[in-house]
Amino acid sequence: MSVENDPVLILGGGLIGLAVAHQLASRGERVLVLSRRRSEAAGFVAAGMLAPHAEGLSGPLLALGQASLARIPAWVRRIETDSGLRCGLRPCGIVVPFTAAEQRDAYPTACFGQPLSRADLEREIPGIGQRWRAGLLFPQDGQIDNRRQLMRSLERACVERGVAFEEGAEVLALSRHRSGALEAVRIRRAQGDDATIPSQRAVLACGAWSARLMHELPVAPIKGQMLSLQGPRAALKRVLFGPGTYLVPREDGLLVVGATSEPEAGFAEGLTPFGQRQLQAGIEALLPEAASWPPMERWWGFRPGTPDQAPLLGASPIPGLWLATGHYRNGVLLAAITAELIAAVIPQAGAPAGSSQTIAAEGASLLNNFRWDRFPVGAAESPR
């Protein structure tokens, strides 16, 4: 038997799901995205930092982030070509401030950055708070306007490539053949009726909701609150990544401020006074003058956290189902490499059933580091 020409099902319509859908459609696959409510996806909520070095990543996660960062310009060009819309990519560089030079020099990724003195900090970030005495500039890091541009551009690119969407479809269960392989996906449509969609190839990209569908996956929601301010155009040219708070300036002067980290909140929706005060205190410490800029918007979302704060990628416990979830706070950064790796291991329609793609050594190594079963049994505690 061979893999039938049924569409590849993408379970989840957020940034990661759309990125994988676009990659698969670009190679000629039929793709159907099942999404309960795309507006709740983390891709609409994140600040859009591309910061493997500024975040101080290490080990395999740093390697994955660096690989994705290198692919992002070409990935963005493909999306913009297909959609006719800009993605808002800005290689603006990111500054990480420290209260002492010793802290700067001990930072995990210090060797990838340019050391800054207090005078250097003032040149890079005019008006930076007085407590910061040293810093690192990572000119290779940057940002993308995911909330206002990337998500819309990627949605359009998917449509132009023939991707089909079913919005308001809640995935209820995964049905398996006697052999154990994926056979179908059961959904509840927006109208309230249940349906079964035959499927031998699907990608689980449900983000923070992934464990509701597969209980063995150690993915938990990490709530984050954010806000935006309207500042003068070009008042801040670099992203400022401080401890607990970051400031991401868009080209039009909008300043995105994030983000709280609330693993204890679960899926509790809404803003909280404590979270908003925390963000305000971060603004005052990093860039005091911005504390008086008018607020524009406040929002929250749920990051998909794992015990080691790294994603679950590749094969799942169910043959025919692949994982692209658990990206925690690096979903925007890792979207490009995730789409490439996951599409590479999914057999094309017509391939023998149970077969898998042969991918390059680099891709195989990257995937092997992010297997779903890499954790000890019972290690389901979420990151903090």
pLDDT above 90 (res 266): yes
218-250 residue pLDDT tens: 999 999 999 999 999 989 999 999 999 999 999
Cα–Cα distance between 228 and 278 in angstroms, integer? 14
194 and 240, same structural domain?
no
In a domain, 382, yes or no: no
8 A C-beta contact, residue 300 and residue 224: yes
224 and 202, same structural domain?
no
188 and 65, same structural domain?
yes
9-67 residue pLDDT tens: 999 999 999 999 999 999 999 999 999 887 666 777 889 999 999 999 999 999 999 99
Confidence (pLDDT) at 234: 87
Which residues make beta-bridge pairs with 137? 95, 114
SS3 state of residue 73: helix
Of 3, 14, 11, the C-alpha closest to 320 is: 3
136 and 34, same structural domain?
no
Written as one string, the DSSP assignment of 84-115 is SS---EE---EEEEESSHHHHHHSTTGGGSEE
Confidence (pLDDT) at 225: 95
Model confidence at 3, pLDDT cuts 50, 70, 90, reads low
Confidence (pLDDT) at 362: 78
* Half-sphere exposure (Cβ direction) of 70: Cα atoms closer than 13 Å: 7
8 A C-beta contact, residue 35 and residue 16: no
Total-model pTM: 0.94
In a domain, 86, yes or no: no
Model confidence at 136, pLDDT cuts 50, 70, 90, reads very high
Distances in Å between the alpha carbon of 346 and those of 204, 214, 339, 350? 13, 20, 11, 12
Confidence (pLDDT) at 384: 43
pLDDT above 90 (res 300): yes
Cα–Cα distance between 121 and 240 in angstroms, integer? 10
Number of domains in the chain: 2
Q: How many CB atoms lie within 10 A of CB 181?
A: 14
Written as one string, the DSSP assignment of 217-274 is S--EEEEEEEEEEE--TTS--SEEE-SS-EEEE-TTSEEEEE---BGGGTT--S--HH
Lowest-confidence pick of 92-96, 124-128, 252-256, 361-365: 361-365
Model confidence at 382, pLDDT cuts 50, 70, 90, reads very low
Distances in Å between the alpha carbon of 353 and those of 31, 32, 279? 18, 20, 51
SS3 state of residue 194: strand
pLDDT above 70 (res 354): no
Question: Which pair of structure tokens corresponds to residue 203?
Answer: 């990608």
Average pLDDT on 263-277 reads 96
357 and 209, same structural domain?
yes
Average pLDDT on 301-324 reads 97
Cα–Cα distance between 140 and 147 in angstroms, integer? 22
330 and 209, same structural domain?
yes
What strands, in cross-sheet order, belong to the sheet with 49-50?
A: 49-50, 142-144, 89-90
266 and 230, same structural domain?
yes
pLDDT above 80 (res 165): yes
65 and 197, same structural domain?
yes
Percent of the chain with pLDDT over 70: 93
In a domain, 105, yes or no: yes
Cα–Cα distance between 47 and 39 in angstroms, integer? 15
**Structural domain containing residue 228:** 91-141+220-304
68 and 152, same structural domain?
yes
131 and 67, same structural domain?
no
Q: Which residues contact 133 (CB under 8 A, 6 or more apart)?
A: 98, 99, 100, 101, 118, 121
pLDDT above 80 (res 177): yes
